[in-house]
Amino acid sequence: FYGFEGHLLVNLSGMIKGFTVAPANVDERAVAPDITDHIHGLLGADKGYISPSLTSYYDAQGVDLQTPLRANMKEDRPKPVVRRLMKARRIVETVIGQLSERFNIQRVRARDLWHLSHRLIRKILSHNLCFVINKKLGNPPLQFDLLISS
């Protein structure tokens, strides 16, 4: 068995737009450019992405990288901006929760990389399919339990 970490790119609606898998011992800041190469505008990330070199990389790409601040950092951003970032973070946490609880993504058993990657792809595709079906039915897109009871 191998340990790995999944890295997701999620839009503000909750649809997964990109993902990558890396060994658990690889820093998440090193993986970030792999899934965000086609992003323009605002990119919200968690505290693990705080890095001057990563910020300068995204500045050169025309991307505004915004992260929550650590406890010892001073908050200079306006409160509405911080609230919007926290709302986006809740959406990301909801998507991660859906993948964990409904699709059991934290336990993918595979003997080789091909099977591992295809099982992950099917789980992410299932998430996005449920998202689209909910939108077509007029339901809130991330409330997958409405698909079961309908």
Average pLDDT of every residue of the chain? 88
What's the pLDDT band for 142 if we cut at 50, 70, 90? very high
Contact 94, 127 (CB under 8 A): no
pLDDT in tens, 45-76: 888 888 899 999 999 989 988 888 888 888 88
Average pLDDT score over residue span 2-6: 78
% residues pLDDT > 70 (the chain): 97
Closest CA to 121 of 135, 136, 103: 103
**What pLDDT score was predicted for residue 119?**
92
pLDDT for 68-78, tens place per residue?
A: 888 888 888 89
Question: Which residues pair with residue 18 across a beta bridge?
Answer: 9
pTM equals 0.83
Domain annotation for the chain: domains and CATH numbers:
4-149 (3.30.420)
User: What are the angstrom distances between the C-alpha of 68 and each of 3, 18, 21, 79, 142?
Assistant: 27, 21, 23, 12, 23
Using only the alpha carbons of the chain, give its radius of gyration: 17
pLDDT for residue 2: 62
**Helices 52-61 and 28-35, interaxial angle, to 10°?**
10
User: What is the rounded average pLDDT of the residues 134-143?
Assistant: 93
Residue 5, beta-bridge partner list: 22
Q: What is the pLDDT of residues 8-36, one digit of tens each?
A: 999 989 999 999 888 888 888 888 888 88
CA–CA distance, 4 with 25 (Å, rounded to integer): 8
